[in-house]
Copies of this chain bind each other. A is one copy, B any other.
């Protein structure tokens, strides 16, 4: 099976960091024979032309998806309803429509109703990314050794599902199927709330007038700089994530705040044992992540001067 492409024609709707990485990885892994790309920005299309990762570039959604065997939406999730509406009349019977969005229930809600019968709608989410944006930021290795979660409807076509999974394996990912609501809760804890907290602490630091911005920057190696990386992620994408995973984010945030209040109280009352016990427990999670190949074991992520 690895001898021929999984899909003949791939259409990408959105070619920023993720969309352009899908194109590059699909090329590298022989996952699609030809790649058509649409973007709402003419500037992005012009830059993509120079980068050369797509076979054809389109200013209209229908032009990109016509004849496509796999369509992947790779725009901020707030745009999915309009994208699905625009692509519907041009979709080829038997095509697979999917996406890369960080929320899954809202995708089914917004895009689902527009997908015509005879087209297989199977949402997906590669757990992968960087803090950078735009077609220049993409690279073929982005999905290597990362997980891609697919959230097929109960009555999903078995063949279409298997081809979508094989597509992601060709891009370097491991694939797992999950219920969309469970996906949204898992991602709220492993991605959405961590991003919100990072954005928040960076905002708090920026506002603290008794500590200057230059001090915040100079002394950031004490821990703060780690948060600024994810707080530099794409604002539009993340606005849409929070607006479209409200329930799970608010649920996890409630627990986070409750736990933080308990820690605050432990500090106020000098309860060193409570602090020590939590700080010991959290070390084990880090080891689990390194053992699972999901992060570097090198100190400071290996970014600092090398050990001699």
Contact = CB atoms under 8 A, between A and B. Distances in A.
A117 interface: no
A132 interface: yes
Interface residues of A, number: 117
A-side binding surface: helix, strand, loop or mixed? Answer: helix
Contacts of A279: 199, 231, 233, 235, 238-239
Interface string A38-54: 00000000000000000
A105 interface: no
Contacts of A109: none
A211 B239 contact: no
Interface in A254-308: 255-257, 259-261, 263-264, 267-268, 270, 272, 275-276, 278-283, 285-289, 292, 294-296, 298-308
A185 interface: yes
B185 A285 contact: no
A243 interface: yes
Contacts of A23: none
21 contacts: A131-B300, A141-B305, A141-B307, A142-B304, A176-B218, A189-B208, A189-B211, A190-B205, A190-B216, A191-B219, A194-B227, A199-B263, A204-B259, A217-B285, A217-B289, A229-B301, A235-B276, A235-B283, A242-B267, A253-B260, A295-B303
Interface of A: 24, 28, 102, 127-132, 137, 139-142, 144-147, 149, 176, 185-187, 189-208, 210-211, 213, 215-233, 235-236, 238-240, 242-243, 246, 249-250, 252-253, 255-257, 259-261, 263-264, 267-268, 270, 272, 275-276, 278-283, 285-289, 292, 294-296, 298-308
